[in-house]
Amino acid sequence: MLNDFLPDQHVKNIFEITPEALKEKGIKGIITDLDNTLVEWDRPLATPRIIEWFEEMKRNKIKVTIVSNNKEGRVKAFSAPLNIPFIFAARKPMGRAFKKAILQMDIKKEEAVVIGDQLLTDVLGGNRSGFHTILVVPVAQTDGFFTKINRTIERRILNWFRKKGKITWED
């Protein structure tokens, strides 16, 4: 049961995820969270570095879809200027939005990764849906109300994984 919260990979930030590494694994598409994965939860627009990361993925023919539990206004304001497809009010960890994303990208589940900063939504949802999951360190040190609750639970799960020797990285 707890293994559903164990990511396949852990990186410090989104920029450690390169098209070359993804292609080696046969990855053609990325399902990524928005808040605290790509930018701080309270930053409305993409940074120049994030824009370059998206462009690099596009140049390498890796499709990206943003899947967020946030409201349409927030996700659209970030995604639309970049011409990045998005799914809002995703209800992660439920699997419907993940399935919708791979249908939109016209790829197979095995050709996609799920990237996010939360075990209880991104990793759990991706793992239960059968995707390769990548956990990133949150971009911001602050969180919204519900995310703060999730982080408390996540710390306990991560500590349990450390004690069992299932993870070796530090927060």
pLDDT at residue 42, as a whole number: 87
- Domain of 69 in residue numbering reads as 2-163
DSSP 45: S
**Tens of each residue's pLDDT in the chain, 171 residues:** 688 999 999 999 999 999 999 999 999 999 999 999 999 988 999 999 999 999 999 999 999 999 999 999 999 999 999 999 999 999 999 999 999 999 999 999 999 999 999 999 999 999 999 999 999 999 987 666 677 788 888 889 988 998 988 888 765
Give the DSSP H/E element, type plus range, for residue 147: helix 145-163
Token readout for 130 is 């059968």
Angle at 116 between CA 113 and CA 122, to 5 degrees: 85
Locate tokens 């799960």: which residue?
Answer: 157
DSSP 35: B
The CATH number assigned to the domain holding 81 equals: 3.40.50.1000
Looking at the whole model, is its pTM more than 0.75?
Answer: yes
pLDDT at residue 171, as a whole number: 59
- Give the span between the Cα atoms of 106 and 131, in whole angstroms: 15
Residue 12 lies in a domain: yes
- Give the span between the Cα atoms of 74 and 45, in whole angstroms: 9
pLDDT at residue 21, as a whole number: 97
Split into its structural domains, the chain has a count of 1
pLDDT at residue 41, as a whole number: 87
Token readout for 161 is 């994984």
- Give the span between the Cα atoms of 32 and 132, in whole angstroms: 12
Residue 70 lies in a domain: yes
- Give the span between the Cα atoms of 80 and 88, in whole angstroms: 12
The 3-state DSSP class for residue 132 equals strand
Give the DSSP H/E element, type plus range, for residue 139: none
Residue 168 lies in a domain: no
Query: What CA dihedral angle connects 129, 161, 12 and 66, to 10 degrees?
Result: 20
pLDDT at residue 166, as a whole number: 87
- Give the span between the Cα atoms of 65 and 149, in whole angstroms: 26
